[in-house]
Amino acid sequence: MKKIALFLAIAFLMLFLRFFHFNQSPPSPYWEEVALAYDAYSISQTAKDHHGNFLPRVAFESFGDFKPSLYFYLAVPFIKVFGLNVFAIRLPTVLSSIAIIFGIAFLAKNLFQYFYLKNDPKAANFIFYLALFLASLSPWLLTFSRSAWESTLATALILWGCNFWLYFMVKNKSKWAILAVIFLVLSTYAYHAARITAPLLGLALVLAYLKKKTFFALKKSLNLPALFTAILLAIYLFWPIGQSLFEKTGQQRIAETSIFSDISIIEKSNELKAKHNNSLFSRIVYHRYLLFSKEAAGNFLDHFNFTYLFVSGDHNPRHSIQTFGEFYYLDALFFVAALVFFFRHRNRLTYFLFFWLFVAILPAAFTQATPHALRTLAALPILLIFLSFGVWQFLQVFKNLKQKKFALLSIVVVYLFFATTFFYQLIYIYPNQYRSEWQFGYEEMIQKLLLIKNNYEKIYVTREQGRPAMYYFFYAQVDPKLVQAFDQQAKKDQGEFLNFANIEFIDKSDQVDGTKKSLIISSPDFYKRFFAEQNFAIIDETENQTWVFYENK
């Protein structure tokens, strides 16, 4: 009964933190969320994306950046059931975050049970509930649990793929190997970074299985037919991804984010070599590849910065509420205790766990804007497992059972205090402070526009907040067939529609035709800077003047 009560209490906490004010924080969908939602809606209605591409396999064109396809398809049944709305598109992420929590708990328990404290089932069960509790409260995971993030889905798939492979190693049954391969490969269809992390993890898992008698001290013989089948299945499923890496669908995102597209590093290399008369030594020491390697190493180490981890988190307000780190302050103590745990219980499995941490951060090392909580989310399961081991190790300091229980109760209370503070800021402060980061105001503006759009020959919506056409398709629930039919004649900017029907999405005053009965929808500041010379007057506005409606006289 105690275990059931404990499980139900943690489950309630887990669900409450993810569903309370679900559509209010974040305060509105980001443009990538509405793109996911509308393309999923388009697929559900026509089997084509909004550009008219029939069932894209590897990536959706979206805004010209070719997003991995899995989240789009996963969202289809949710949109079929709940309609085209914020709840439907965010629900797959919420469920993925719950899958991550349970995946962490099961992996932590199984690692204890099979590889660390083999004769202590009580410790393994304790670790299960501890990991479940800590993962439920994690500020990093909570941040990426409440809006549509492909990285959360990819992390869940990677984690359960590794869990299934662990079962295969222990039980030697083919079904676990097949499930592991399917989940790991599916993660590469969910998020770009997984295309590096998942294959490297998969290769390490295969090598570990081949060496499991010595590497993991497991006695059962190898199931080579299952291993061979799993490898062939992985190659078959991953093949379309591999092909896309040499095409625009796979290279576009790399070109946009990679440090190798940063010409300043090449210029610095040339400048340093010229300063040293282009000597052989300078050509070696200041070679561009060496400077790129130094940049990548610095980017990698950025993710272990104390401020990032424990104080303010990712500098992007969509990835962090800015007043908390990716972990709570108390976690720093238990990470130190985790190092003590691994020193005392070291075995070759420990190398694999640190390798997982390495390959989860590796993709972000070769991109700009680090540290990056979203691209490195696959590192979270390992860090939370380390944290769980650290708490367990810390409690071993107390020999007396009463002291140990009191210490555990104190830890739980402190974590609940931290989590309550974080959650209050996430729900009540963050949405107001950073509403502009989430394009707040589009919903109200478009609902007002729909009531009056037929009164005007031309409507001009400014692009200052980004992607207004997609928000219009989403909130107006435009028939995808109409958008697909208009695709070829639409003016575009990197795949984004710049006009639809009688609506123009603009950013310059010379795009306005004042001779027709027209409406400009803009923020007051943007209007004053670019459209003040137009003979228009205010007729309406949204909350806090996020958008103001101007009609020509």
Is the pLDDT reported for residue 215 higher than 80?
no
The answer for residues whose C-beta is within 8 angstroms of residue 224's C-beta and 6 or more apart is none
Is the pLDDT reported for residue 402 higher than 80?
yes
pLDDT confidence of residue 214: 62
CA angle 385, 387, 389 (to 5 degrees): 70
3-state per-residue secondary structure call for 377-411: HHHHHHHHHHHHHHHHHHHCCCCCHHHHHHHHHHH
68: β partners: 59
Return the residue matching tokens 């974040």.
26
> Domain-by-domain residue ranges, the chain?
85-257+303-432, 260-302, 442-552
pTM: 0.94
Confidence of residue 139 (pLDDT cuts 50, 70, 90): very high
CA angle 370, 376, 377 (to 5 degrees): 135
pLDDT confidence of residue 512: 85
Contact status, residue 313 vs residue 139, Cβ threshold 8 Å:
yes
Q: Give pLDDT tens digits for 168-204.
A: 988 889 999 999 999 999 999 999 999 999 999 999 9
Q: Give pLDDT tens digits for 26-45.
A: 999 999 999 999 999 999 99
Alpha helices (H) in 172-223, listed in sequence order: 174-188, 194-210, 212-215
Going by their DSSP bridges, the two strands 59-60 and 536-541 should be labelled as unpaired
CA angle 69, 74, 75 (to 5 degrees): 100
Asked whether the bond before 371 is cis by omega within 30 degrees of 0, the reply is yes
Which residue from 327, 334, 308, 326 is spatially nearest to 386, judged by alpha carbons? 334
pLDDT-wise least confident of 172-176, 227-231, 540-544? 540-544
